[in-house]
Structure formats: structure tokens, C-alpha cells
Amino acid sequence: MRRVYDVPGRITESGLAASNATLTPPPAVAVGLAGQGKTRGTVALTLCTLSTNQSIALLCGNATELQTEYLFHNLDLRYEELRARSSGGGRGGLSKTILTSIPIDLPQIDEQSRITQILDTLDTAIRETEAIIAKLKAVKQGMLHDLLTRGLDANGELRPPQAEAPHLYKESPLGWIPKEWETKQLGELAEVSRGKFTHRPRNDPAFFGGLYPFIQTGDVAAAHGEYISTYSQTLSERGITVSQEFPAGTIAVTIAANIADTAILACPMYFPDSVVGVVACPGNNIRFIELSIRQAKRTLDARAPQSAQKNINLQDLRPLIVALPNKPEQDKIAKHYEAIQSRIIKEQIFADKLRKKKSGLMDDLLTGRVRVTPLLEGSPP
């Protein structure tokens, strides 16, 4: 999957002459030799002429026995094996001697080419899908700002910017907003209350392991504003007596360490006082309120004291000013957002399927479990 088309660093001719480095034309397989993290054993296919330092080896195949692209896929599959072959355990590294001693079972060169073509095709599909996801996320971020400052007109279209249609806007504490909108404090739009877990010590096992979902700030942060239905911890019957249940549809907002990360509860859950529950009042769209809080993350984070662990409190959240359209427009804005988020999720699912398919094919094709034979002449494609 990893392909190097260019590198930011450059070496001069005199620098190259004074070093042991050599320029290697493409294609070549770059192998990470050192590093305590995941770098050691990682491979990439270089597609530009380059040189490397001593922490990277460049390997090239030949035209008759080993195709370089096939070598790339083969070593990519064997990442854990490469790390296991490293000398010196956790702090060790690979070497030229270790690499050259690694056995490779090779099919004929034409079969190597066919295997490479199959895996390259999947790599291309994965890259293209990832590019679509990245573009959609960028569009979503820009769209979120526009939706919360310009809204949608009666036709479901974004209003033109204030600079182009000043008559459609009015000034507010949040800047220019559509003239039909009003501003209200979050505490007027929702019940805002802290989670609770009063028992000490907090890790008393008698209070955990039951049927009741108990989420923490990390669970909320991992949801990235979306619905949260998974959890890593539960409370017992005894545990819920010292905590507080929040209903499905509650907006969970972190107020300690991670400031103003949000999630919407997909089912009733409990949480500690490092998370606040925002229960929207009737007549307000839950997603719209969540988006408004998410949009204010930078403002809320700036209010947190710069201490060992940043935190805010209800006095920061309840007075939060929200630019508020009527309920039908809130619903349209929420639907607009959900549509692009749904497409992102769909593309992410597709990318995951492609990765799983590639992983299975790598294991089959590169071990010889499944052979790739040429089509017989005259056979249907």
C-alpha cells in the first residue's frame, strides 16, 4: 500500500560523494532496519530515484527471477516475521545479513507479474477510496461551518454569504447570522447536568461488571460526535446507586482532559462527572444542538485553565450562546449533515472490505495456496 513518489529531503552531489549512500533508481523496496516502534520491518515501494541513510535498506529484484513489485508485496505480508528476525529483541534491528538470508518461495516471473497486478489493483482501489473519504471529510468540515452560520433557505439550499446578500443577515454575539434566527444560551435549549460516580475508591470492583453501560471521556472522544453504542465498562446494581443514568439521545460532552468532545447516546448510559449530559428540550433537534456544541469546541477549550489537567464546568456550558433557527430548519440542517456523514461511513465500510479482501488474497497468493495461472488461449475472460 505504501508507495513513495517523492521525498522532501535532498542531498548535494558533494554530500553524496562524501557519504556511503548511492542513488537507487525505481522501483526498489525500502525496508526499515531500526526503530523501537513500528518502523522496523515496514516496507515501501519507491517510485523515484533516491538515496537513504543507514536505517533503511533498498532492495531490487531482477528481470529473470524476482520482480521488485512482487518482493514488495511479499515482504509487506511478512512484517511480523521481519520483526521477529531482528537482532537484539525489542531494541534490535534488521541488517543486510538478516535480509539476504530470508528465504522466498518464488513462482515463475510471469506468475509474479499476475499476482502483483491483482494486488496493485486492490491497492489502487483502496487509495482512491481513501482519497474520496478525505475529500468528503474536508467538505463536511467546511459545510458544518456554513450550515451553522448561513443555514438553509426554504428550498433547502445554503443561503448566499453575508457579503453577497447582507439583507438576509443580522448581527449577533456570534457574528452575522440569518435574520430569522435568534440566539439563546444552551441552558435554555437543554437540560445540562454532570455525570456522577461518588463512590471512593473509584475502582472498587463491587461497583462494576453489571448490565449498565458506563462510558468515560475516551469513549466519547472516540465517537467523534456520532452515535455511541459501544462501551468498555459496565456498572453493577450497586454501581448505579452512586451514578446517574442518561437517556438515549443525550448529548455527552467531555469537560476534563479532552474538552468539548461530543457523542450522542444510542441507548441509556451512565458516566462520571468528567462528562456532562445535554438533554435537548422538546422543539429542538438533537443533532443540531450537538453540532452547535461541536462548533464551539475551540471556544470552550480556550476557557479551560492551563493546568495539569484542563477542565471546564457547567458554568461554561450552560451560558454557551447558540445561533438558533426554527425547528424545521434545524431538522433540514441535521438531515443535510447526516447525508454526507452517511456517505463517509459507506465509503469507510467499502475501504475496510477492500483491505480485508487484499489481506486474504495476499495470504493466498503469496504463499502459493492459490495459484494464478494464465487464461487459456480462446477462453472467455
Mean pLDDT rounded to a whole number for the chain: 91
Cα(124)–Cα(1) distance, integer angstroms: 8
Give tens-digit pLDDT for 175-207: 999 999 999 999 999 999 999 999 998 889 999
pLDDT of residue 376 exceeding 50: no
Residue range(s) defining the domain that contains residue 99: 3-106
pLDDT at 237: 97
Torsion 232-237-239-242 (CA) sign: positive
In terms of Cα–Cα distance, which of 195, 272, 206, 213 is closest to 239? 206
All residues at 6 or more sequence positions from 139 whose CB lies less than 8 Å from its CB, including other chains: 340
Q: Which residues share a beta bridge with 185?
A: 321
All residues at 6 or more sequence positions from 191 whose CB lies less than 8 Å from its CB, including other chains: 277, 278, 279, 281
Give tens-digit pLDDT for 32-69: 988 767 788 899 999 998 888 888 889 999 878 999 99
pLDDT at 262: 97
SS3 181: coil
* Ramachandran region, residue 224 (left: φ > 0; alpha: ψ -120 to 50; beta: rest): left
In terms of Cα–Cα distance, which of 363, 379, 340 is closest to 132? 340
pLDDT of residue 378 exceeding 70: no
Clarify whether residues 61 and 140 are in a common domain: no
Establish if 380 belongs to a structural domain: no
In terms of Cα–Cα distance, which of 292, 289, 263, 288 is closest to 276? 263
H-only helix segments in the chain: 13-17, 68-77, 79-85, 96-100, 109-149, 186-189, 217-223, 286-295, 297-303, 314-317, 327-365
Establish if 373 belongs to a structural domain: no
Clarify whether residues 31 and 101 are in a common domain: yes
Clarify whether residues 125 and 87 are in a common domain: no
All residues at 6 or more sequence positions from 118 whose CB lies less than 8 Å from its CB, including other chains: 361, 365, 372
Give tens-digit pLDDT for 260-281: 999 999 999 999 999 999 999 9
Written as nine digits, the cell of 224 is 467523534
Clarify whether residues 244 and 316 are in a common domain: yes
pLDDT band at 381 (very low <50, low <70, confident <90, very high): very low
Any idea what the CATH number is for the domain that residue 44 is in? Answer: 3.90.220.20
* Domain total in the chain: 3
Give tens-digit pLDDT for 357-372: 999 999 999 988 898 8
What global pTM score does this model have? 0.81
Establish if 330 belongs to a structural domain: yes
